[in-house]
Amino acid sequence: MPKRSKKTQRWQAKTLQEMFNSIKRGQEYVNVTMQRSTWEELKYFIELALREEDMATKQKIVAPAVKDKKTGIIIEAPSKKWAHDQIEAKEHIKDKNAKRGFMTTEDKFVKRKEAAKIAKKAGQIKKDDIKKLHSSDLRKAGGLAKKKIK
């Protein structure tokens, strides 16, 4: 192996640490990648692992949802066109008893902060300044109008 400067070694170690931290199914890949002899091969296999993981776990936001705090029941909107207040009105849930969130492609209820991260990662919203996802953000990004309820 070629001799590297201390600065290069520190940079490589930091980069590897960041890569390994972002691998969720990491252990499968760590054993394979650690046997590689060069920095380039090691980096290549880590990036390959990250790409495979991204493809396998591509979560998206499906629709707004409301969780009733009293009963724990989750009510999912039929589409992205619905707003949280419309779900609450239709299901007769008081605002103080409702926890607003979103459903994912994995049928998981997530709060607004986590939903914003998922939507950004999936490319469903463009703005990076959104900290908490609102149903209107999802509609605007998809070019959808708010559902009219009769």
- 68 and 52 in a common domain: no
67-76 LR contacts (CB < 8 Å, sep 24+): 67/98, 67/99, 67/101, 67/109, 68/93, 68/97, 68/98, 68/99, 69/97, 69/98, 69/99, 70/97, 74/103, 74/109, 76/103
**SS3 call for 98:** strand
CA distance 36 to 56: 24
Q: Are 48 and 66 found together in one domain?
A: no
The secondary structure of residue 22, as a DSSP letter, is: T
**Residue 25: per-residue pLDDT:** 53
Q: Mark whether 79 and 48 lie in a shared domain.
A: no
- pLDDT confidence of residue 101: 94
Clarify whether residues 113 and 95 are in a common domain. yes
Same domain, 106 and 70: yes
pLDDT at 64: 93
What per-residue confidence (pLDDT) applies to 54? 63
Q: Is residue 35 part of a domain?
A: yes
Q: Determine, yes or no, domain membership for 150.
A: no
Distance of CA 106 to the CA centre of its chain: 11
Residues 29 and 88 reside in one and the same domain: no
pLDDT recorded at residue 74: 92
Per-residue pLDDT of the chain (150 residues; tens, 9 = 90+): 456 677 877 777 777 667 666 665 555 555 555 554 576 777 777 777 777 666 545 788 999 999 988 888 999 998 888 888 888 888 888 888 889 999 998 889 999 999 988 888 888 887 777 889 998 888 888 777 777 766
pLDDT at site 55? 56
Tokens of 97: 């008893």
Does a structural domain hold residue 94? yes
Beta bridge partners of 110: 102
Question: Per the domain annotation, does 149 fall within a domain?
Answer: no
Distance of alpha carbon 25 from alpha carbon 30, whole angstroms: 9
Is residue 148 included in any domain, yes or no? no
Q: Indicate whether 85 belongs to any domain.
A: yes
Asked if residue 137 and residue 66 are part of one domain, the reply reads yes
Quick check: pTM over 0.75? no
Shared domain for 66 and 44, answered yes or no, is no
Both 72 and 25 in one domain: the answer is no
Enter the tokens of residue 95: 């605002």
CB 64 within 8 A of CB 100: yes
> Total structural domains in the chain?
2
Query: Is the domain of 37 the same as that of 74?
Result: no
* Same domain as 138, residue 76: yes
**Phi/psi of residue 6, nearest 5 degrees:** -60, -40
What does residue 146 show for φ and ψ, rounded to 5 degrees? Answer: -65, 135
Whether 50 maps to a domain, the answer reads yes
Structural domain boundaries, residue 70: 61-142
